[in-house]
Amino acid sequence: MAILSSGSSSRSKPRGPGVVVIATAATIALLYFGRAFLITSVIAVILSLILEPFVGLLVRIRIPRAFASFLVCSTALLLIYLAGLGSYSQLSGLAAEIPAYSDRLNQIVDAVTTKIEHAEQATYRLLLPKRMQKAQEAPKPATPPPSRRRRAAPDPLPILPPPPAGPVEVRIAPETSPIIQYITSHLETVYSILLMASFVPFLVYFMLSWRDHIRRRFLQLFQGSSRLAAGKSWEGVAEMGRAYVVGNFLLGLIISAASTLFFWFIRLPYFPLIGPLSGFLSLVPYVGLPLAMIPPLFAALPVYNRLAPYLIIATSVAFFHLLALNLLYPKIVGSRVHLNPLVVTLALMFWGTLWGGIGLVLAIPITAGIKAVCDNVEGFEAYGRLLGD
């Protein structure tokens, strides 16, 4: 009995700092080296959260969940295909006008360079004394005319071999586009991305159709009060994820529609592509406003030669962004995601370092999900309050 009691007391001892450091390092390594699998799974979860309200609506009208999931996924794939087809047509037209955009950019760069040179000369004249300016601008002694110079003997002409008797075949190597060069140089990475992306529709379908079954089997892994905490954590993560993801998606649609209408009104080229791109880029945390300004300002380069239209475009994009952030965001997304600004910044840095650009997009929902788990698991409430606002 003494041995059993001593063994149980040793198992209940808290883990040392070395074990915590090793476990943390192992978790970070797993997140980094398994990023392809984990990013695919997280994206599938987010898409299932977006489509779940439509599946629930069909289930309420007595349609089986499996068939309702199939209908919703098929409709979503069709919409994505139509959106991709429209984007391809816009991008193909934009690619044909790349020379005009490059010429316009060269003109802008030359104009800016000229203004900078004029400003440097004005500053030089203002700060440098006049006597030093006259000394530097004094005429230099003229060089003797070419006739008085000693001419060097010309080099002897090289003896060239005789041309071949038969016809000469000239081969010109075909030029490859930068996109093809990038794909060939990163073929393994592109293949892994396409392979993981091919699993997303199947994962979304199974997550939607087997949702109730997975939830029941997940809760059966726990007993007593642990099952209650697991159920609350499941509901908290689902509610938070749905509020954040679906709310941001609806907010992006609203900003995209307003931006597209405004760009159509001012006759901006490729407004069906520029409007949604600018609208959803504005939702990126911290850097959304400058990112949202880049597509419309770039599309306006070959159209406007004055500064006023660019200011109007930038002001309108800033107005839509601030209106959505301050007025629509609290009402649509709600106050369910309680994360303080410091945690948000650290989460963006952490997930951006591990997963790159996609990590910046997934950082906030992942961190908010971790907080929802901490809020409902006994012993981790303090960590939830640490992450909260």
Q: What is the pLDDT of residues 170-187, one digit of tens each?
A: 555 455 555 566 556 667
Domain that includes residue 118, residue range = 23-127+198-221
Percent of the chain beyond pLDDT 90? 6
The pLDDT value recorded for residue 309 is 84
Q: Which two tokens stand for residue 356?
A: 């790159």
- Give the position of tokens 């597509």: 295
Q: pLDDT band for position 12 (50/70/90)?
A: very low
The answer to the question of residue 304 being in a domain is no
pLDDT at 263 over 80: yes
| Count of C-beta atoms within a 10 Å radius of residue 275 | 23
The whole-angstrom separation of Cα 276 and Cα 270 is 11
Residues 14-31 pLDDT 10s: 566 777 788 888 988 998
Q: pLDDT band for position 211 (50/70/90)?
A: confident
Q: Which two tokens stand for residue 94?
A: 């934009």
Q: Does 224 or 124 have the greater pLDDT score? A: 224
The whole-angstrom separation of Cα 91 and Cα 159 is 54
Asked if residue 73 lies in contact with residue 208, where contact means CB atoms within 8 angstroms, the answer is: yes
DSSP state at residue 146: G
Asked if residue 217 lies in contact with residue 230, where contact means CB atoms within 8 angstroms, the answer is: no
Q: pLDDT band for position 196 (50/70/90)?
A: confident
DSSP state at residue 200: H
The pLDDT value recorded for residue 118 is 77
Q: pLDDT band for position 262 (50/70/90)?
A: very high
The answer to the question of residue 315 being in a domain is no
The pLDDT value recorded for residue 307 is 80
The answer to the question of residue 54 being in a domain is yes
The answer to the question of residue 121 being in a domain is yes
- Give the position of tokens 């440098």: 128
Average pLDDT estimate for 362-370: 85
pLDDT at 261 over 90: yes
Residues 90-103 pLDDT 10s: 777 776 777 776 77
Average pLDDT estimate for 238-245: 79
The answer to the question of residue 181 being in a domain is no
Q: pLDDT band for position 11 (50/70/90)?
A: very low
What value does the mean pLDDT of the chain take?
A: 78
> What are the CB-based long-range contacts (under 8 Å, 24+) for 311-319?
312/266, 313/266, 313/268, 316/259, 316/262, 317/259, 317/278, 317/282, 317/289, 317/292, 317/293, 318/289, 318/293
Strand ranges, E, within the chain: none
The answer to the question of residue 160 being in a domain is no
Q: pLDDT band for position 71 (50/70/90)?
A: very high
The whole-angstrom separation of Cα 115 and Cα 121 is 10
Contacts of 194 (CB under 8 A, 6+ apart): none
For 76, phi and psi rounded to 5 degrees?
-65, -40
The answer to the question of residue 275 being in a domain is no
The pLDDT value recorded for residue 70 is 92
pLDDT at 359 over 50: yes
Nearest residue to 326 (alpha-carbon basis) of 277, 262, 281, 282: 282
Q: pLDDT band for position 160 (50/70/90)?
A: low
- Calculate ∠ Cα 28-34-35, nearest 5°: 85
Q: Does 205 or 372 have the greater pLDDT score? A: 205
| Count of C-beta atoms within a 10 Å radius of residue 370 | 18
The pLDDT value recorded for residue 7 is 45
Counting the structural domains of the chain, the total is 1
The pLDDT value recorded for residue 4 is 43
pLDDT at 269 over 60: yes
Average pLDDT estimate for 66-71: 91
